[in-house]
Amino acid sequence: MKGIERKFSFYISAVLYVMFNLRLGEDGMASLIATAWQIIQTAPFVAGMTYLIITFLQYMSGGESVPWDRRLRLFFAIGILAGLFYGIYEYAGVAEGVS
């Protein structure tokens, strides 16, 4: 039962990652392109932060490796926060092209 709960929570975190990085457009294709562009823009920063946290965790545990599912969970958690903050920044009325 524990394995099912772990898989379920893993998939939920993946879905939440995509939902928090979702950007709506005029139609479905525009939304898909905007969401993909959002993920492409933030993924390097999220991966870098995840790498730093994993390195710190491995150092603190005496060199014991962090399992892949936990690495991805950390990536999704940091990506959710990045998507949230970037979404707030975008939708908070930031004027583009105004001098």
Tell me the pLDDT tens digit for each residue of 3-62: 888 899 999 999 999 999 999 888 989 999 999 999 999 999 999 999 999 999 999 999
Q: Which residue has the tokens 């001098």?
A: 99
Cα 37 to chain centroid distance, Å, stands at: 13
Give the number of other Cβ atoms within 10 Å of residue 81's Cβ. Answer: 13
Q: What is the model's pTM?
A: 0.84
